[in-house]
A and B are shown apart, each in its own frame.
Chain A
Amino acid sequence: MKVFKWSFIAAIFAYLYLPIGILVINSFNASKYGYEWKGFTLEWYAKLWENEALTQAFLNSLLIASLAATAATIIGTLMALALHRYRFPLKATASSLLFIVMMSPDIVLAITFLIIFIALGIQLGFWSLLIAHITFCLPFVVITVYAQLKGFDKYLLEAAQDLGASESRIFRLIILPLVFPAIVAGWLLSFTLSLDDVIISSFVTGSSFEILPIRVFSMVKVGVSPEVNVLATLLLAISLLLVTFSTLLLRKKYTHD
């Protein structure tokens, strides 16, 4: 029974991670086509470095991801605070609308954005891409920060007020330190989401501003080159790092009752 159990688990993990593992291994494989192991090499990494179009796309991606994540984090945090702190009309509607954005298939969002940008006469490129990325990152930030806020004793803010703290001091000394891990986690999550988005980006960006996932997508149409393996490995490493970091941040919870 025990053997069965372990082999089952092993099979699942193999199914999940074998393709990724092969990809990573191939990025170090001296064989160009990757059907066999021809020895360890860093050649493809060097080649990638020399590929200007790719590195430019990569830099563009980093720029969009960090701008979109920052904007989404600021707007999303403010929104989460408003949802938590104030009673206002249509509050329930506002929060469920966020879920709709989160749940919508990417293709639906992509088409919506495209229609809006065309209708408004916004040229597809940097700005359209940035606006779209901020939008789809936003609900994730709101939900992360709001969950953290909800986890705290609702009388904390009243206690601070009772002890003489003004609204701005309550925000600075109580709310901000308490939700800071969630804010950082929200940023990291947004960054990752933005960095690897293909569908929405391919609809809303033009030839003037190319980002990495789209560049890669057009590269693999003519066959998987070793550089793509290298890129994928790097992206994987970045994503893993960020996700791990954000998980660690959120795990540092304060126990309270």
Chain B
Amino acid sequence: MNRLPILTLSHISKRFAAQEVLSDFHLTINDGEFFTILGPSGCGKTTVLRLIAGFEQPNEGKILLNGEDIAGIPAEKRPVNTVFQSYALFPHLSVFDNVAFGLKMAEVDAQNIAVRVADALAIVRLSDFATRKPHQLSGGQKQRVAIARAVVNRPKILLLDESLSALDHKLRQQMQLELKQLQRQLGITFVYVTHDQEEALSMSDRILVMHNGQAQQVGTPREIYEAPRNLFVAQFIGEINVFDGEITRALGEYQYQAMINGVERDIRCDHRFAAGDRVHVMLRPEDLRIDCRPNVLERKGFPGVVLERNYTGQTLNSHIRLENGQAVTVHEFFDEDDPDFDYSINQKVGVDWVPGWEHVIPAERSGQA
């Protein structure tokens, strides 16, 4: 699906006192997408959201909404609404009045307000709660009121600041699904800020990974997970095993031979390398295989011993220590044909993968080849 950009941040810098939170920051968000800004706390993601909302003004740079620079426009005049982490419902107003607040500010007539508030409450399934006060609602209900209060204004962009983090695990998963459905139903661009990578992967059309005020990578959840651009992204999103290697020679376009942990292997990647280049060969735990054949000569892959194995129900997660001391995690699904599938602690095994499943990036840190 081809979408047009609705919001562009260019050359944005933002300083608080002496601290530079963002510098020369760029971002493009497309119309109608569910866009997530993901990063650890303090990475600047909330600042980006507050800049879009208008609670903060950038020191430099432009914020274009539908091609119009909104950088100097205060929050109350921007066609953008926010769902706060703490919900920030007005405690002295009923659910109805909370949701109607934005429309009243826009001087919509009372009849229209009644209709639109009723619609918004119906969307979040709270029609029966219109007369309640916020303190009479559960966490999930407050969350829904906060969403209704924002979407009732038909914003161009809906901003959500860690909006699910106050909910318990089960409710959070349910709300993830609801948010995603709501976004499709309304067709409004959602910009969601979170530090929870699972949440980001499951809800977003595209994700921006941030670290130290810098954009690390923008892409679909699949791209971010399967083809992380650097070590930070790889390690922040899910678990990953990183093997250090050195290119020994090129075999063809995007095909190389590399020395990894003292073993020559063929690798495939979309970077161009020359012989002698150091690389990180990265594999998700579920992409690794354990070879436990008793004969050491038949075993393939890096030799190691089983340190620990955890049964999770769906998978068997094994922690292997390779001969060079590196710890590796392997997740394997159970095989219906082999009910006794398990390893014993200290068992000698080989760790291998299907050729082509590796993801290779230029080395960022030094390590032995």
Is there contact, CB below 8 Å, between B91 and A161? no
Partner of A158, one of B55, B90, B105: B55
Task: Please name all residues of chain A whose beta carbon is closer than 8 Å to the beta carbon of B150 when the two chains form the complex.
Answer: 162-163
Is there contact, CB below 8 Å, between A152 and B91? yes
Is there contact, CB below 8 Å, between B76 and A164? yes
Please, what's the 1-or-0 string for B186-199, where 1 marks a CB less than 8 Å from any CB in chain A? 00000000000000
Q: A164-B102, A164-B106, A256-B134 are in contact. Are A159 and B88 (CB under 8 A)?
A: yes
Within 8 A of A (CB), among B102-136: 102, 105-106, 133-135
| Range, interface on chain A | 20 to 34
Is there contact, CB below 8 Å, between B90 and A162? no
Segment among B61-69, B79-87, B238-246, B341-349 that sits at the interface with chain A: B79-87
Task: Please name all residues of chain B whose beta carbon is closer than 8 Å to the beta carbon of A173 when the two chains form the complex.
Answer: 101
* Smallest CB gap from A170: residue in B: B76
Task: Please name all residues of chain B whose beta carbon is closer than 8 Å to the beta carbon of A208 when the two chains form the complex.
Answer: none
A153 at the interface (CB under 8 A from B): yes
Please, what's the 1-or-0 string for B53-78, where 1 marks a CB less than 8 Å from any CB in chain A? 11100000000000000000011110
Task: Please name all residues of chain B whose beta carbon is closer than 8 Å to the beta carbon of A164 when the two chains form the complex.
Answer: 76-77, 102, 105-106, 153
Is there contact, CB below 8 Å, between B86 and A257? yes
* Smallest CB gap from A256: residue in B: B91
Task: Please name all residues of chain B whose beta carbon is closer than 8 Å to the beta carbon of A4 when the two chains form the complex.
Answer: none
Task: Please name all residues of chain B whose beta carbon is closer than 8 Å to the beta carbon of A166 when the two chains form the complex.
Answer: 76
Is there contact, CB below 8 Å, between A163 and B81? yes
Is there contact, CB below 8 Å, between A155 and B88? yes
Partner of B102, one of A155, A163, A177: A163
Partner of B135, one of A160, A163, A256: A256
Q: How far is the CB of B149 from chain A (nearest CB, A)?
A: 7
Q: How far is the CB of B88 from chain A (nearest CB, A)?
A: 4
CA distance A153 to B134 in the complex (A): 13
Please, what's the 1-or-0 string for A128-164, where 1 marks a CB less than 8 Å from any CB in chain B? 0000000000000000000000001101101111111
Q: How far is the CB of B155 from chain A (nearest CB, A)?
A: 9
Partner of B88, one of A158, A165, A177: A158
Is there contact, CB below 8 Å, between A254 and B105? no
A249 at the interface (CB under 8 A from B): no
Is there contact, CB below 8 Å, between B91 and A254? yes
* Smallest CB gap from B85: residue in A: A155
Partner of A153, one of B82, B88, B102, B153: B88
A63 at the interface (CB under 8 A from B): no
Give the size of the chain B interface in residues (CB under 8 angstroms).
30
A174 at the interface (CB under 8 A from B): yes
* Smallest CB gap from A157: residue in B: B88
A178 at the interface (CB under 8 A from B): yes
CA distance A92 to B103 in the complex (A): 38
Is there contact, CB below 8 Å, between A159 and B90? yes
Q: How far is the CB of A249 from chain B (nearest CB, A)?
A: 14
Partner of B84, one of A158, A169, A174, A177: A158
Q: How far is the CB of A45 from chain B (nearest CB, A)?
A: 43
Q: A161-B76, A162-B76, A256-B135 are in contact. Are A169 and B88 (CB under 8 A)?
A: no
B365 at the interface (CB under 8 A from A): no
Q: How far is the CB of B91 from chain A (nearest CB, A)?
A: 4
Is there contact, CB below 8 Å, between A254 and B88? no
Task: Please name all residues of chain A whose beta carbon is closer than 8 Å to the beta carbon of B80 when the two chains form the complex.
Answer: 162
CA distance A153 to B166 in the complex (A): 14
B169 at the interface (CB under 8 A from A): no
Task: Please name all residues of chain B whose beta carbon is closer than 8 Å to the beta carbon of A159 when the two chains form the complex.
Answer: 82, 84, 88-90
Is there contact, CB below 8 Å, between B75 and A158? yes
* Smallest CB gap from A178: residue in B: B92
Q: How far is the CB of B116 from chain A (nearest CB, A)?
A: 13
CA distance A177 to B133 in the complex (A): 15
Task: Please name all residues of chain B whose beta carbon is closer than 8 Å to the beta carbon of A218 when the two chains form the complex.
Answer: none
Is there contact, CB below 8 Å, between B53 and A156? no
CA distance A254 to B91 in the complex (A): 6
A93 at the interface (CB under 8 A from B): no
Task: Please name all residues of chain A whose beta carbon is closer than 8 Å to the beta carbon of B53 when the two chains form the complex.
Answer: 162
Is there contact, CB below 8 Å, between B149 and A163? yes
Is there contact, CB below 8 Å, between A161 and B86? no
A207 at the interface (CB under 8 A from B): no
Is there contact, CB below 8 Å, between A165 and B135? no
Task: Please name all residues of chain A whose beta carbon is closer than 8 Å to the beta carbon of B74 when the two chains form the complex.
Answer: 161
Q: A163-B102, A256-B135 are in contact. Are A156 and B88 (CB under 8 A)?
A: yes
Is there contact, CB below 8 Å, between B91 and A178? yes
Task: Please name all residues of chain A whose beta carbon is closer than 8 Å to the beta carbon of B81 when the two chains form the complex.
Answer: 162-163
Q: How far is the CB of A128 from chain B (nearest CB, A)?
A: 40
CA distance A156 to B91 in the complex (A): 9
Within 8 A of A (CB), among B143-202: 149-150, 153, 166
CA distance A13 to B235 in the complex (A): 67
CA distance A256 to B82 in the complex (A): 19
Task: Please name all residues of chain B whose beta carbon is closer than 8 Å to the beta carbon of A161 when the two chains form the complex.
Answer: 55, 74-76
Is there contact, CB below 8 Å, between B55 and A165? no
A51 at the interface (CB under 8 A from B): no
Query: What are 21 A-B interface contacts by the 8 Å CB criterion?
Result: A155-B86, A156-B88, A158-B55, A158-B82, A159-B84, A161-B75, A161-B76, A162-B55, A163-B76, A163-B101, A163-B150, A164-B76, A164-B77, A164-B153, A165-B76, A165-B105, A166-B76, A178-B91, A254-B92, A256-B91, A257-B86
The 6 A-B pairs with the shortest beta carbon distances in the complex, nearest first, are A254-B91, A164-B105, A163-B102, A159-B88, A155-B88, A255-B135
Give me 7 other A-B pairs in contact (C-beta within 8 A), A164-B105, A254-B92 excluded: A153-B86, A158-B82, A164-B102, A165-B76, A169-B105, A178-B91, A254-B134
Residues of B within 8 A of A (CB): 53-55, 74-77, 80-82, 84-92, 101-102, 105-106, 133-135, 149-150, 153, 166
Residues of A within 8 A of B (CB): 152-153, 155-156, 158-166, 169, 173-174, 177-178, 254-257
